[in-house]
Structure 1
Amino acid sequence: MRMLFQNLFGKRDELDIYKEEQIQSPTRTIIRTFASNKLSMTALIGFVILLLIVIIGPMLYPVDLAFSEQSQQNISPGQNMMSVPPELVQNGIRDIAVGRTFSVGVDDNGEVYIWGKTNVPGTNVTNVPEDLPPIARVAAGFDHVVAIGEDGQIYGWGNNRQRQIRFTRDVQDLGEIIDIAAGYQSTAILDGEGVVHFFGNTNLTEMYEYNQYQGQIKDVVLTNNAAIGLLDDGTPVYLGSKPLPYSTRIPDEKFIKLAATNKTVAGLTADGRIIVWGSPNYKGEAAMPDEFESQPIDIAGGQYHYVVKLENGNLAAWGDNTYRQSTVPASINDGNNQTIYTGYYQNYAVKEDGTVQTFGLKGYLLGSDGMGRDMWQRILNGGRWTMTIGALAVLIATIIGIVVGGVSGYFGGRVDILLQRISEIVSSLPFLPFVIILNVIIGNSLGPTQRIYLIMIVLGLLSWPGLQRLVRAQVFSVREQEYITAARSMGIREYSIIFRHIIPNVISVIIVSTTLSFASSMLTESSLSFLGFGVRPPIPTWGNMLYGANNSVIIQQYWWQWVFPAIALSLTVIFVNLIGDGLRDAIDPKSQER
């Protein structure tokens, strides 16, 4: 045995070509022949890389099957959401506002800068009014921008479908404007007399303009569906008319500043205490640190997280951390943070020297889908499921094919006839219609994991006839050879002869067939999922990701949702097929002549 392993894998002295030809083992010959095939070796390297990616990737980027986020739907590939223009930093940062996928900045000269994913569906927030004067302050909503000019006028651009930037004449003539806020299809403007003016979808966002607090308000913030004001005496008030968590849970405290997320409001007191109310357990906004290293002196809110500036110049954050927007990098906490700007999933920390550092969501490597999910994460996890289903289906088919083919080829006669008729029956079943009918009959009663097992089993049970015919033919060719006759004469059991003596001698053919069947099984699973009869969302596979992109709008406007899954599936299938062809040529050199 030791000599066998040395001959196969051990280091030996270099022999001349004649001696090498005489004692070269079949395994070494196959390996050397395969390695000399550059195309197959390239495919092998590519497949190994893909396999490692889909094995290791889901560990590093696990997918949350329940995740969806409206604000992140259909975002194109790229990681430029926090790419602050250098000119803005050079000229001095006056203000920054964060929108859904973009940010707006104003420098000390009043010039406006816009960066990130600015082409929001239905509008383009870079379409700034041509006659825009120097800007004093800016606010960004879901897909629109509101600005206060140095001339005291209100300006807006972006989506105006709900009239969120269609300001009336009386608002333009207000004179002094203290504050502006922009949210989802809504805008709030606070004038110098403490009156808030609302624009936009008041059916979605609970804002009652004729509330009792008008004339007393000094600050206003917007959640996804409500407006909260801060009175002159520091009392927080709900500016809507219908009961919401913001109105029923308002704390009896005096605050110096308010901040809001999608579903919560936070207030900062003069002594540095922070109180959060609304629906704080939705995304973890209530999970505030037990204590801060220094007293909080400023607060800002994103989509589901809060960031505070501390008295010592450092920052602290808490809440949802899906995009690490609540993890303040150590490099930022150097005690030199002057101002913080936060919105959605981005954070900007302006230093005392005027530079800016960022943390949070930079963008999506491969874009996002129609539910706001990261395509890179879903392709990684989808590849794991697609390859697993294909591999286990091939394993089932290989076991059945070896057993049936080996028994049929060795015994022949009536056993062979019976097994071949069964094989022909299975082969005659129309594969896709059969699986679709089976799915309709019992599929709806199964859970997502059970459906995956069903697909594996069905693929395996219907894919073995081709392999069994191949094994049967090989067994026919070797069963009358001398070593088989010797085994019979020694009284070795027939099943031992089949599976210990014959099958190992035809294993090379089985390997080639299994490799090619693996690619076929992945394509079949993807076809079923693409037709809607395979693995169902939210569990990702490459097939159902393509199924989710099966409409003209996505194909034309959101190309990344089908191009990248298609590339991943195509490359994997091509690599596996090229590996199979290379193995076949290495094992059977005469196949190249046929």
Structure 2
Amino acid sequence: MAVETLSRALDLPKVRAVRESQTALMWRRFKQHRLALISMWIVLAFYLVAIFAEFLAPTDPSAYSPRYTYAPPQGLHFIARSEDGGLLLGPYVYGYKTEIDPVALRRTFVIDESQRLPISLFAKSKPYLLAGFIPMSVKLFGVADPRAPLYILGADRLGRDLLSRLIHGTRISLSIGLAGVTLSLFFGIIIGGFAGYYGGRFDSAVMRVVEFIRSMPTIPLWLGLAAAMPKDWTALQTYFAITIILSLIGWTGLARVVRGRFLSLRTEDFVTAAQLDGASDWRIITRHMVPSFMSHIIAAATLAVPGMILAETSLSFLGLGLQAPIVSWGTLLQDAQNIRTLATAPWLLTPGIAVVVIILAMNFFGDGLRDAADPHGR
């Protein structure tokens, strides 16, 4: 009987052992988080808009037309009826006509449905540089007549296209968040790592500095550092200064996380084995300890980007961050400070909607990464 059972067991098909890397395991678990997966595609779409801003924006963000100040959104339409009753398919917008408000005695814009302005894809435009170095003369879409108005999201107080300015502002706001988090990662990993690895007085000194920075009120600290920038700096210098300021404030939280992980890892067997093998402290930190919890660092960095974006938007909104002619979401929201302006042009709050969408998407994306990176999660 035992021989027969053994023969049956030998006839069973062999199960091939499947080995997955840590990245593959994270991705498999991340895909189970539906909301985080959708948020990842939203974040990716925003960054693609930032990369191809010149191609996607229908007009130059600095081009203005006093004739169309505070022009309302035109809106996109795709189906129209021809004069003979047939259907016309294709994107188009309606033109404007002006009327005089009998109460306020001011000019107002009214959508004129008798003027149908067809929109063509890959429309010809003035030559420009995509991403600053690729020469192009084609836009994703535009109207056939360059003199015709195209304000899908409306116009601001100078008659500038809000959609084009919003697209270009996406590049500035998102790149500041990404660059700021990159610098914060560098400072947080290096300072927090050495503090947790060596401990002692160096660890105590670093933690006192971290606690001092974190105990200071955030907004007054931003205001003081931003006010220290010279007024004669160029737009590019101001951009880098804001990025560095945000990084100097944002590294403390990551440093505490890294320090705690290093305190628990420095007594592990693989660290002791590397020390006995004669590896230098720098090699142990960068080649053994940091990669062991790199997934947690990536998740923490993803959750830190929204804070950087909000910080830049807040500074620019208060007038102490980026200033014109730089176009960011914060500078665009400066036009929405006046309640009288909002009463007549509520579409100026559109950049605020973009801020809310990207912040929520990045938070959900970061939560999904954190759950996928947690080895003890279910």
Counterpart residue number, 1:380:
167
CA separation in 2, counterparts of 1:570 and 1:84? 34
CA contact (8 A) 1:79 1:363 kept: no
Counterpart residue number, 1:75:
71
CA separation in 2, counterparts of 1:463 and 1:486? 34
CA separation in 2, counterparts of 1:80 and 1:426? 49
CA separation in 2, counterparts of 1:573 and 1:374? 24
Tell me the percent identity: 30
CA contact (8 A) 2:312 2:330 kept: yes
Task: Structure 1 unaligned segments of length 5 or more: list them.
Answer: 1-14, 91-101, 103-114, 125-141, 145-157, 159-319, 323-345, 348-357
Counterpart residue number, 2:348:
561
Deviations 1:454-499 (A, max 9, x none): 1100000111110011001111111111111111111111111111
CA separation in 2, counterparts of 1:35 and 1:74? 44
CA separation in 1, counterparts of 2:100 and 2:314? 30
Task: Give the counterpart of 2:296 among 485, 492, 509.
Answer: 509
Deviations 1:389-413 (A, max 9, x none): 1111111111000001110010011
Larger proportion of strand: 1
Report whether the alignment pairs 1:528 with 2:315.
Answer: yes
CA separation in 2, counterparts of 1:473 and 1:65? 46
Alignment coverage as a number of residue pairs:
325
CA contact (8 A) 1:73 1:368 kept: yes
* Deviation of the 1:526 alpha carbon: 0.6
Report whether the alignment pairs 1:117 with 2:113.
Answer: no
CA separation in 2, counterparts of 1:388 and 1:501? 30
Which structure exhibits the higher relative contact order, with contacts defined as CA atoms closer than 8 Å and separated by 6 or more residues?
2
Counterpart residue number, 2:50:
54
CA separation in 2, counterparts of 1:57 and 1:588? 36
Name the larger-Rg structure. Answer: 1
Deviations 1:422-464 (A, max 9, x none): 2222222322212212333334232222111111000001111
CA contact (8 A) 1:529 1:535 kept: yes
Distance 1:454 1:122, change over 3 A: farther
Counterpart residue number, 1:545:
332
**Aligned-pair Cα RMSD in Å:** 3.2
Letter aligned with residue 368 of structure 2: G
Counterpart residue number, 1:576:
362
Counterpart residue number, 2:39:
43
Alignment of 1:430-509 (within 5 A): 430-509=217-296
Letter aligned with residue 450 of structure 1: Q
Deviations 1:241-267 (A, max 9, x none): xxxxxxxxxxxxxxxxxxxxxxxxxxx
* Deviation of the 1:59 alpha carbon: 3.8
CA separation in 1, counterparts of 2:229 and 2:243? 15
Distance 1:62 1:529, change over 3 A: farther
Counterpart residue number, 1:586:
372
Distance 1:442 1:143, change over 3 A: closer
Letter aligned with residue 58 of structure 1: E
Distance 1:396 1:80, change over 3 A: closer
Letter aligned with residue 117 of structure 1: Y
Counterpart residue number, 1:32:
28
* Deviation of the 1:120 alpha carbon: 4.8
Alignment of 1:292-303 (within 5 A): none
Counterpart residue number, 1:364:
151
* Deviation of the 1:74 alpha carbon: 0.8
CA contact (8 A) 1:80 1:362 kept: no
SS, match of residue 116 in structure 1: strand
Distance 1:63 1:85, change over 3 A: closer
Distance 1:379 1:120, change over 3 A: farther
